[in-house]
Amino acid sequence: MAISTIAGIDFSKPADVVAQQLIGVTVLVDGVGGRIVETEAYDHEDPASHAYSGPTERNASMFGPPAHAYVYRSYGIHWCLNFVCQEAGHGAGVLIRALEPVAGLDLMRARRDALDERLLCSGPGKLCQALGVTRAHNGMALSERPFELLPAEPGLSLVAGPRIGISKAVDVPWRFGLAGSRFVSRPFR
């Protein structure tokens, strides 16, 4: 039986709900990672989503069971990490946009060739490089190694706004962040 609740997050819920609940959760990949400070939600009914046109070889993991990774290349350059939501076959996920680094900083610095903590995981491509996430992680269960998710502290304040770097459904306010975090990819307005 697939596990859909990890670190207090029920991944069978809609992506916009899960995206908000993930703020503050710590994600580790082989012990390297940080606290999620920024996310974006995507659903198959959303024209900005990879799932909008239905399943393909590239996005098949997004239609898989909840609480699994969907990893894809952005612009043919950067890996991006998403957490699959809702029931298998639905096609929804949460893009992990930014982390506050908390574990394995020396390895992150070496992988990213950056010293400033704020530059290590302040964008989806940066955080995948820092955590060593590649296509090999696509489809893996978030409840099993190399992944580990730890619960967020209660009572965190969130902010919301439009998603970044898309050309469709640009006004949908499905980008969520930890209020006041200096580790987000771009400030919220």
Q: What is the CATH number of the domain that holds 28?
A: 3.10.300.10
186 domain residue, yes or no? no
Which of 45-49, 87-91, 113-117 is the least confident region? 45-49
120 domain residue, yes or no? yes
90 domain residue, yes or no? yes
The amino acid occupying position 27 is V
108 domain residue, yes or no? yes
Distance separating alpha carbons of residues 99 and 104, to the nearest angstrom: 13
159 domain residue, yes or no? no
Q: Which two tokens stand for residue 146?
A: 């190399």
Tally the domains of the chain.
1
62 domain residue, yes or no? yes
Q: How many residues does the chain have?
A: 189
Q: What is the mean pLDDT of the chain?
A: 92
183 domain residue, yes or no? no
What's CA 86's distance to the chain center, in Å? 15
Which of 69-83, 89-103, 123-137, 143-157 is the least confident region? 69-83
**Considering the chain, what percentage of its residues have pLDDT values greater than 70?**
96
Domain that residue 21 falls in: 10-153+170-178
